[in-house]
Amino acid sequence: MRPKSHFNPKPANAIGIFDSGIGGLTVAKAINDLLPNEKIVYFGDTAHMPYGEKSAHAIQSYAIEITRFLMEQNCKLVVIACNSASASALKQVQSMLPDKQFVINVIDPVVQHITHDSKHKKIGLIGTKRTVSSAVYKKKIEKADTGQVLKSLATPLLAPMIEEGFFNNKISKTIVHSYLENPHLLGIQSIVLACTHYPLIMSEISSFYKGKVDIINSAAIVSEAVKSFLNKHELLNASMAQPKHAFYVSDYTESFEQTAKIFFGSSLKLKEKNLWK
């Protein structure tokens, strides 16, 4: 049964955001920075992380349950803050709402950004196996017919590494540099971080390219898309009261809570909510 009866978007309602784990927090933080009046309800599906190793069918089933939960929280908009879920479950999430416009994924805004500024013809992309194998970025960029060439590389160790708290250290630097040295990425002018976990290793990526390659971070781009959408539909929250965000995970992990507190402060309270019990 679809939760369409729960969907009644109002300016005071929250923005619902979900990801397989901590990666979507980069998107949530960018939205919070840009729209500090907006309440956020975040769901990290840590019990099924990483999505990049799962089948499309499995990801779709997870996304449906999470969307149902977010609708029960009276969210006015759903943001799929996960490239694997955006590639595999966008239609399923859209079908949960009366109007599919009220779902924003992390792929389309980035593709629009890339193709609008088409000065870079050779573009690299790193992401999970699911995102890369879907070829969704490649298909959308080719459809735009801007003459841009995309070179994609699956980097399956990165998301689990980050989820376990290994970033900004010697271990993460070694693994990141090992992937970026792959000959497939030679000659690129910009690189898409096609996983919302990857901004957490931005320093390692930046140190490798030393300013010679433009790094495309989806979090800021998606937050601008959210602001534009809410403004267009007159759903921006005008209240100046401090919003009370809510953070849920399907399986509690200490590393998730630590990272969430880095972004949203030590007062953050993480709630465990297993939707599949």
Does residue 236 share a domain with residue 202? no
Does residue 122 share a domain with residue 81? no
CB 114 within 8 A of CB 158: no
State residue 83's pLDDT score. Answer: 94
Does residue 226 share a domain with residue 99? yes
Does residue 161 share a domain with residue 88? no
What CA–CA distance (Å, rounded) separates 148 from 86?
A: 22
56-90 residue pLDDT tens: 999 999 999 999 999 999 999 999 999 999 999 99
Does residue 262 share a domain with residue 196? no
State residue 241's pLDDT score. Answer: 84
Does residue 241 share a domain with residue 209? no
State residue 4's pLDDT score. Answer: 52
**Token pair of 173 as six digits:** 């630097």
Does residue 143 share a domain with residue 59? no
Q: How distant, in Å, are the alpha carbons of 4, 24, 41, 175, 188 from that of 102?
A: 12, 18, 15, 37, 34
What CA–CA distance (Å, rounded) separates 232 from 230?
A: 5
Give the H or E element holding residue 92.
Answer: helix 83-94
Does residue 112 share a domain with residue 85? no
State residue 6's pLDDT score. Answer: 62
Instruction: Tell me which residue of 167, 161, 166 sits closest to 203, measured CA to CA.
Output: 167
Instruction: Tell me which residue of 9, 20, 29, 16 sits closest to 223, measured CA to CA.
Output: 29
Domain assignment present for residue 255? The answer is yes
Catalytically annotated residues: 82, 195
Domain assignment present for residue 277? The answer is no
Domain that holds residue 226: 4-105+220-272
What CA–CA distance (Å, rounded) separates 51 from 19?
A: 9
Q: Which residues of the chain have pLDDT under 70?
A: 1-6
Does residue 188 share a domain with residue 94? no
Residue 195 burial (C-beta neighbours within 10 Å; 0-12, 13-18, 19+):
buried
Domain assignment present for residue 25? The answer is yes
State residue 1's pLDDT score. Answer: 42
Domain assignment present for residue 63? The answer is yes
Task: Quote the DSSP letter at residue 6.
Answer: G
What CA–CA distance (Å, rounded) separates 74 from 170?
A: 43
What CA–CA distance (Å, rounded) separates 251 from 33?
A: 27
CATH (domain of 187): 3.40.50.1860
217-260 residue pLDDT tens: 899 999 999 999 999 999 999 888 889 999 999 999 888 888 88
Query: How many structural domains does the chain have?
Result: 2
Q: What is the pTM of this model?
A: 0.91
At residue 92, what are phi and psi to the nearest 5 degrees? Answer: -65, -40
